[in-house]
Amino acid sequence: MRQIVLDTETTGLSAEGGDRIIEIGCVELVSRKLTGNNRHFYLNPERDSHEDALKVHGISNEFLRDKPRFAAVADDLMDFLAGAEIIIHNAAFDVAFLNRELELLGRPAFTSCVSRVTDTLAMAKEMYPGKRNSLDALCDRLGVDNSSRTLHGALLDAELLADVYINLTRGQEALLIDMSASDTPGSIVTRVDLRAFTLPLLLASEQEVAAHEDILKQLDKASGGRTLWRIEPSRPVA
């Protein structure tokens, strides 16, 4: 299963109003593990960022002047994303901007090129109703280190979101022994991440099979021949 965690930074809040993408960060997961095969683009939006947006991402207009336009990276980006599940926090925002950029190039809508889009904000609201579910809030809640996030950055935020997503969807992929501190003061919570293990199939040796059969015979003898595994299915149990 191939998944791409994606984030963008933009000149403002309105794709319909003419705001553009200035940064795209993509982090690849295969079988829920980071591969290191990522994509990161700074883009010339052909317009200045709004003052409020500059306060969020800190990417100056001057820095972006010599960066490629979206058209120059579109093939690389969409080839990388093709067929994958795309994971985005507040997906409607990023998808609207990506759709607008693709529309300007006469290309199909974003969702037509990927397997599906998963919105971690929607997931978090369902899991934690009534609570703050920003990326920073989720990092704090789930123990994800976001100390390096002083400003928003597409690649950094995608990396953080990948960790958040794994924690949000951990389910049966982790073995959790959790004794509540209220019941057992000083107890320790131990997590064993089962994704790190590939369990081998070990067959019993001939000697082990023989030893096992000998034990069964001893148990059968001790029970007077009444052990269930020795009784034929058609033979009633007295």
pLDDT of residue 178: 45
Q: Which residues are catalytic?
A: 152
Q: What is the pLDDT of residues 77-136, one digit of tens each?
A: 999 999 999 999 999 999 999 999 999 999 999 999 999 999 999 999 999 999 999 999
Contact 83, 89 (CB under 8 A): no
pTM: 0.71
Contact 38, 3 (CB under 8 A): no
Q: How many residues does the chain have?
A: 238
Alpha-carbon distance of 134 to 124, in angstroms, equals: 9
Q: Is 111 exposed, middle or buried (0-12, 13-18, 19+ CB in 10 A)?
A: middle
Identify the segments of the chain with pLDDT beneath 50.
172-184, 237-238
DSSP symbol at 67: S
Q: Give 175's strand partners.
A: 192
pLDDT of residue 184: 47
pLDDT of residue 190: 55
Task: For the chain, state the CA radius of gyration.
Answer: 27
